[in-house]
Amino acid sequence: MRARSVIPLLASVPIGCAHSGSDPVLAPLAAAGRYPEARERLEQRIARSRDAEDRDYVLDRVRLGMVELADGQVDAAETPFLAAYDLLRVQGLNDDRTVRALVGTESGAITWKGEPFEQAAAYAYFAAQLASVSDWGNVHAAAQQSLFLLADFGTGPDGKELSYEQVYRDNDEDELDKGYQPIETNFAPGYFMAGLGDWGRRGLDPGFADSAHDNFRKAVKYAPALEPVVDALTSGRANTVFWVDFGEGPEKVREGEHAEISRYIARTPSDDAPLITMVNGTARTEVALAADFNVYAHDHRWRAREDLRRAKAAVGELLAQSGVVVAATSDNDTGRLVGLGMLIAGALTSSGAAADIRHNELLPQRSYFVALDITKPDSTVMFQVANHPGSRLVLPAIDPPRAPETVQFRYTRLNDLPQAPAWATSGEVLYANDFYDARIPGDGLPYIMGGRCVRTPTPETLQRYHAAGNLLDLTTNDLRNLYRDEGITLEVGEQAGGGARHILEGGTSLVSPLPGTAGYARVFCAEHGPYIPRSDALRRAIAHEQEVLR
């Protein structure tokens, strides 16, 4: 009776959901600057994971935020980052799921928060989004979250630092909770961004400048390459900070008898190649890298959960072995049935012991921080990682900070290709947009009507068209309605708070990417085909305009 009641219950234990958090296509898309395609893949995933109970909820949103940020859609990046942040900030979210992970698969039971270095990075990239819109108080707050204490298990008899695996193997499992010293984090990007958040708002309170210096000192302590960046910024010799990423971050793979151990392997190898920078074709400088994610991935202080993976394998083996013993030695049917149940449960648990290899494959291999002094409107900045000619990226249309701001921030992700595409190296803005004041041939008419202007339809924009002798019969509202008739969105709020493909690239959005980003260069520095009207209203407006001009 007892056996009959236990075995069906064990059989009903969920083995785990078939979540496939990783997407091998995302990293190559990002490496080629093809962010609209990456966005669309992630949006399809997110459409299936709208519930915060979804185990990939955070992972999908962090990756989407990073894609939007790299694509220059800084306002659109806030929505996914904030959603991920809200869940990352929930403490102990997975505390009560440990045993569910034991009887299922870890990825089916544990809400992905990432390894500690991935969590720190998620907070720092959210801070980067907030810095891109000069929301300095929140920059500090988000970056501060990345500066949690790390676990240091000290050194072994050989004088080398102990790993989690060593502590687990040589000690009771309680050591994993008690046998370490909490130590200050060495996450330099977090300190730097926290300092930048304070520096950006120092005008509100002198105390923020002091706090900025404290954070900058820590950043330099753990990444000496940041010293000239901090000096230039705090001495007033720079007003613009770039966070420049390059390469594909490490990949998480399984190892061990039951594939219960995860390890990170480098995709883009680490090296010390500096970042070459130029402003307006001069002032060539070289900047050393500030963060290497291959290094974080191999540092035991930035890893966690190996204990769980070991326990899963151990429990699975234990149950299976014990089940065999019980079934073999029992002198009655009930005992044999219980043993059989344990055997089956053990086999299932061992099969679920495979390590969770979900990871943020959009993390870069390395990060550089650059401080530049942008004094002229429409300045052009060039970045290239030394010995990687395919990473060359020329970024036009960068203005000095807009008052009352005294500092501005941009996030730039370089391509990781053998050869740089034409849009990345041209540096020539081919379409008039909200961030570019200089005249462009054809900017006296909207792109949707055959011109080269994709500015937001404001009274000022319409004045430009009128000055060119075009659209004299149209008001601003008429023009805005034409865009709406075409299904074109004018601001992020009309896109459910998210990003969308730009009309120049065949999409439905008129929202301009931010200058200083790969997205801006790809959208505005490449030649695009003519717009094909979708609505009768636009076709009539074009015919009317041609009639008037005739």
Torsion-angle region of 377 (φ positive above 0: left; ψ -120 to 50: alpha; else: beta): beta
One of 155, 334, 375, 419 touching another protein (CB under 8 A): 334
CA distance 51 to 199: 37
Which listed range, 36-44, 94-102, 467-475, 515-523, lies at the site for another protein (CB under 8 A)? 94-102
One of 267, 480, 501, 528 touching another protein (CB under 8 A): 480
CA distance 95 to 105: 16
CA distance 494 to 400: 29
**Minimum distance between the CB of residue 456 and another protein, rounded to whole angstroms?**
6
CA distance 57 to 52: 6
One of 1, 51, 91, 159 touching another protein (CB under 8 A): 91
Q: Is 9 among the residues that bind another protein (CB under 8 A)?
A: yes
Q: Which residues lie closer than 8 Å to 195 by C-beta, 6 or more apart?
A: 211, 212, 213, 214, 215, 216, 218, 219, 230
Q: Is 90 among the residues that bind another protein (CB under 8 A)?
A: yes
Measured between its terminal Cα atoms, the distance across the chain in Å is 94
Helix ranges (H only) for 188-226 are 188-200, 206-222
Which listed range, 4-12, 63-71, 364-372, 513-521, lies at the site for another protein (CB under 8 A)? 4-12
Q: Is 95 among the residues that bind another protein (CB under 8 A)?
A: yes
Residue span 291-320 as binding mask against another protein, x where in contact by CB under 8 A, dash where not: -------------x------x--xx--xx-
Scanning residues 220 to 259, which ones bind another protein (CB under 8 A)?
Answer: none
**CA nearest to 397, candidates 512, 239, 509, 237:** 512
**Minimum distance between the CB of residue 517 and another protein, rounded to whole angstroms?**
19
Q: Is 457 among the residues that bind another protein (CB under 8 A)?
A: yes
Listing DSSP states for 311-346 in one string gives: HHHHHHHHHHHHHHHHHHH-SSHHHHHHHHHHHHHH
**Minimum distance between the CB of residue 356 and another protein, rounded to whole angstroms?**
13
CA distance 24 to 36: 16
- Contacts for 47-53 with beta carbons within 8 Å, 24 or more apart? 52/87, 53/111
Q: Is 102 among the residues that bind another protein (CB under 8 A)?
A: yes
One of 23, 52, 97, 427 touching another protein (CB under 8 A): 97
CA distance 191 to 524: 34
One of 31, 193, 338, 482 touching another protein (CB under 8 A): 338
**Minimum distance between the CB of residue 95 and another protein, rounded to whole angstroms?**
4
Return the number of the residue (185 or 240) whose C-beta is nearest another protein.
185
Interaction site with another protein (CB under 8 A): 2, 6, 9-10, 13-14, 78, 82, 85-86, 89-100, 102-104, 113, 116, 119, 126, 130, 135, 137-138, 141-142, 144-145, 148, 173-174, 182, 204, 304, 311, 314-315, 318-319, 322-323, 326, 330, 334-335, 338-339, 341-342, 345, 456-461, 476, 480, 490-491
